[in-house]
Amino acid sequence: MRRLAPLILAGLLLASLGAATAHAGGRMISTPLSTKGARIVDAGGRTVVLQGVNWFGFETANHLVHGLWARDYRDVLAQVRRLGFNTIRLPFSLEAIRSTAPVSGADFSGGRNAALKGATPLEAMDAVVEEAGRQGLLILLDNHSHADDAYQQGLWYGQGFSEDDWVATWKRLAARYRDQRNVIGADLKNEPHAEATWGTGGPTDWRRAAERAGNAVLSVAPQWLVVVEGVGGGAPVPGQRLDTHWWGGNLEGVRTHPVRLDRANRLVYSPHEYGPGVFPQPWFGKPNTPALLEERWRTGFGFIAEQGIAPILVGEFGGRNVDRESAEGRWQRQFFDFIGRTGASWTYWALNPNSGDTGGVLKDDWSSVQPAKTALLQRMIARQRIAFRGSGAVFTAPRRATTPRRGGKAAPKTPARSQTAAPTQPSAPAQPPAQPPADDAPGPPAPGSLSARVVVENRWDAGWCGHLEVSGPDATLAAARATLTLPPGTRIAQSWNAQRSGDGGRVELRFPAWAKVAGGAPYAATGFCVDGSGEAADVTVG
């Protein structure tokens, strides 16, 4: 890293003159950034590859990046720069941006974090952003949730926040940071999923909402990039070829319904990708997994860059293992290699060690690095090929016996609220692929013709996750409903592919319009997670 020192000093000088810079491959990046076909380019028209890391915390109840109970924020940023990253993706909640209360979770002894003492979340964000600029680091803002710690929420509104609130928050941030030249853009919403659709034109249409919010941001900060993730876990999107995706990872709708911004050269698409350590998706258990993964990545989002539609920024990917024997290690190495070969930009999840199912770049002391993981990341930064084939067996689900998070990755990975590392926990079940109704779709069910049962997929001491399996003769389920009777002391914490009435006792679930029993196959795309140890005592459908 010594050879970068003169460049960093030059960057600080340029920053003082009003041009934000970051180091990349031995040269400086000058903002503002824009896009040209499949490339992100800097102010001089030179290709830029964003190579970054997520540092989360502003989206949690602390309203502050994590780890500052152990060290000064300036030291953390200096370490990020020394490790070779040029970008930080900075998650936040709408609730944090609204708050005027002082942030928590920082050590102020001995002059540590002095600029943050008594600061509101926005004031603390100012300090982090400005110091990142001094260190030559770019910042990508990420709306991770509306309420604090609300990772399981699939839409950009809810829990007391409207779509208007979401758009207004982005305009507020754009106005605040449009002259802070190292702030390069807005990742509009983390991992839309469940009810989120693409190209439908209604309130749940993520493409419509992204266009609205993206154009609102550009009306205030026309030099920013607008980063749009996909959807996942709900109804198929137009042009979809793969059965299922990670939350926020389904960008197949871009084939026929691309996002339309007033400034087309500011659009970047952003999938998220995870391995079997987060959830044992079916493709990880196949003997030809490497070929399946390559095809999935090219079909799911790689086509966007291959066809010159827009650049790709992989906003999240990560895991604990990077060896060539474990399934997770082989997946992670292969994905590193794929990103390097395709020239995509990326921000790794996460710097934080307290990401329960992925771990971080840093160890639990918040200072020393995970050496094997860091070595691979630095090879990726250098655009070196990474070997990934090994002799390990196909993935089998890990045994975990600790308290679960709300979600997983068919639900999201969830950081701990506390100042200590989060335990690993079971994930919510993958949401089965939903199929659209065919032209010859069956009619509604005859009374009493359907049966249903609850299939439990994951269980732990204080809860469980599962799905409904509805069987019977061919029938559409749009007008049907299921009624669950839950034991006292239990409640549904989250559900997907259903409209739910109530949380405990008798709970009614209405199926989505595309749900059906057909060809002798049961319907199994509606699921839920329950707080409490009891199972559903009864389920009826009709």
**Residue from 183, 170, 168 nearest 90 by CA:** 183
Evaluated on CA atoms 99, 105, 107, 112, the torsion sign reads negative
Beta-carbon count within 10 A of 393 CB: 10
Which regions of the chain carry the CATH code 3.20.20.80? 34-382
Q: What gap in Å lies between CA 185 and CA 19, rounded to an integer? A: 16
Q: Which of helix, strand or coil describes residue 191?
A: coil
Radius of gyration, CA atoms only, the chain: 23
Q: In the annotation, is 163 catalytic? A: no
d(CA 55, CA 50): 15
Instruction: Return the DSSP state at 258.
Output: -
Task: State which fold the 451-541 domain adopts.
Answer: Immunoglobulin-like (2.60.40)
Instruction: State the Cα–Cα distance between residues 37 and 238, nearest whole angstrom.
Output: 22
Distances (CA, A) of 385 to 38, 321, 337, 354: 21, 18, 6, 29
| pLDDT for the residue numbered 423 | 28
- Residue 10 has a pLDDT of 36
Catalytic member of 59, 195, 211, 316: 316
Give pLDDT tens digits along the chain (542 positions): 222 333 333 343 333 334 555 655 556 899 999 999 999 999 999 999 999 999 999 999 999 999 999 999 999 999 999 999 999 999 999 999 999 999 999 999 999 999 999 999 999 999 999 999 999 999 999 999 999 999 888 999 999 999 999 999 999 999 999 999 999 999 999 999 999 999 999 999 999 999 999 999 999 999 999 999 999 988 899 999 999 999 999 999 999 999 999 999 999 999 999 999 999 998 998 888 999 999 999 999 999 999 999 999 999 999 999 999 999 999 999 999 999 999 999 999 999 999 999 999 999 999 999 999 999 999 999 999 999 985 343 333 332 322 223 223 333 343 333 333 332 333 333 333 333 333 344 677 777 788 888 877 556 556 776 778 888 888 888 888 888 888 888 888 777 677 888 888 888 988 877 678 876 667 776 777 787 876 666 788 87
**What's residue 535's pLDDT?**
66
Which residues fall within 8 angstroms of residue 179, CB to CB, at 6 or more apart?
none
Residues of the chain with CATH 2.60.40.290: 451-541
* 316 in active site: yes
Contact 225, 184 (CB under 8 A): yes
With a CB cutoff of 8 Å and minimum separation 6, the contacts of 111 are none
pTM > 0.95: no
Catalytic entry in 191, 211, 252, 273? 191
What topology is assigned to 34-382 in CATH?
TIM Barrel (3.20.20)
Describe the crossing of helices 121-134 and 163-177 by its angle, rounded to 10 degrees.
40
- Distance between CA atoms of 270 and 248, rounded to whole angstroms? 8
